[in-house]
A = this chain, B = another copy of it.
Amino acid sequence: MLKEILENVRAKVPLIHCITNYVTVNDCANMLLACGGSPIMADDINEVEEITALCNGLCLNIGTLNERTIASMLKAGKKANALSHPVLLDPVGTGASQLRTSTTQRLLEEVRFSVIRGNVSEIKTISQGKGTTKGVDADISDKITDDNLDESIAFAKALSAKTGAVIVITGAIDLVADSQKAYICRNGHPIMSRITGTGCMLSAMMSAFVAAHSSNPTEAAAAAVCAMGLCGELAYEKVQKAQAGTGSFRTYLIDAVSLLDGETLEGGAKLESR
C-alpha cells in the first residue's frame, strides 16, 4: 500500500493550493515538490476560488491567521468542497487564543474536511471546543503513549465519526484514524521538534498524498505520516554522521523526502493498524 501511494503522488504530481502561515511557507512549498507534488500559495479573497479550482487539493493552515486570510480560507474551503477536492486542516495553535479556537470552529462548521492534522493539544481543543494549548506544542500531560493508546484510538475514531474527517494526531507515536480503522505509526525522531515546521510540512505533503489517493484518505494520511517519520530518521542519521545540527537536519529532511522511493518506505515504515 505505501509504495503504491508514494508512486501515485510521483506519477500524478498533485497541485496543492496552500493558504498557510508565513513562517514555514517556504518549507511547505519545498516539501510538496520533494514528495512529488506541486505547490501554489495564494491567499487573496479575489483569487482563491479560481486558484483552488485549478488544483487537486487544498491545505488550510492557521499558523499566522488574520482577518484577511480567514475569509480567504472559508471561501477557498467552500469552493474545494463544491468541487469535491480534498481539504486538509492544520489547526496550528488552536486553543492558544480565542481567535484560533473560534476560527477553527468556524472552519469546521462551514467547510467539510477530508483530514484534520494536529498535535494532541490541538486535536483535543477541536474535540472540546476550548483548550489549554501552550503555544504550538502538545501538552506533555496529554501525549499519546502505549499506556493510553487504546483510549487515544477510541477518541480519534469518535472524533472522526463526529467530524467526518480523518483525524491525524502526531507526536512520538502518530495516530491516523477514521471512524472504523486506525493506523499507528512509530517512525520519527525527537529532533523533528527542534526545527520549525515539521507539522506544517507534513500537512502540506499529506494533502498531496490524499489528492493522489483520494479513494482512501485514511491510507493516504498514514502513508504520509510514515514517509515523514522515516525521512526524519534518515535525516537524523546523516546529521549524526556529519556531526551537524538542526540547520542541517532541516535540509536533510527535505533531501530524504526527495530521494525516498517506494521500497525504502515499505521497508522502513513502522506501521500497524487496529
Contact = CB atoms under 8 A, between A and B. Distances in A.
Interface of A: 15, 21-27, 29-30, 33-34, 38-44, 46-47, 50-51, 54-55, 63-68, 93, 96-100, 134-137, 194-197, 243-248, 250-259
A21 B50 contact: no
Given A43-B66, A96-B54, A134 B196 contact: no
11 contacts: A21-B41, A22-B22, A23-B39, A30-B247, A44-B64, A47-B99, A50-B99, A247-B250, A247-B253, A247-B255, A250-B251
Nearest first, the 4 closest Cβ-Cβ pairs linking A and B are: A247-B254, A245-B255, A245-B258, A47-B97
A98 B41 contact: no
A34 B247 contact: yes
A15 B246 contact: no
**Residue of A27, A64, A258 ringed by the most chain B CB atoms within 10 A:** A258
A156 to B, nearest CB: 26
B258 A254 contact: no
Given A247-B253, A250-B247, A96 B40 contact: yes
Nearest to A51: B97
A23 B24 CA distance: 9
A122 to B, nearest CB: 13
Contacts of A55: 135
A68 B134 CA distance: 25
A246 B197 CA distance: 17
B250 A245 contact: no
Contact of A99 (B41, B46, B245): B46
A159 B158 CA distance: 60
Contacts of A50: 96-99
B34 A245 contact: yes
Nearest to A193: B33
Nearest to A63: B41
Contacts of A26: 23-24, 26-27, 196-197
Contact of A44 (B22, B38, B65, B134): B65
A25 B29 CA distance: 13
B194 A34 contact: yes
Contacts of A66: 43-44, 68
A137 B259 contact: no
Given A21-B41, A23-B41, A246-B254, 16 more contacts: A15-B134, A22-B22, A23-B25, A26-B27, A29-B197, A33-B196, A41-B63, A43-B64, A43-B66, A46-B99, A47-B97, A244-B255, A247-B253, A248-B252, A248-B255, A251-B251
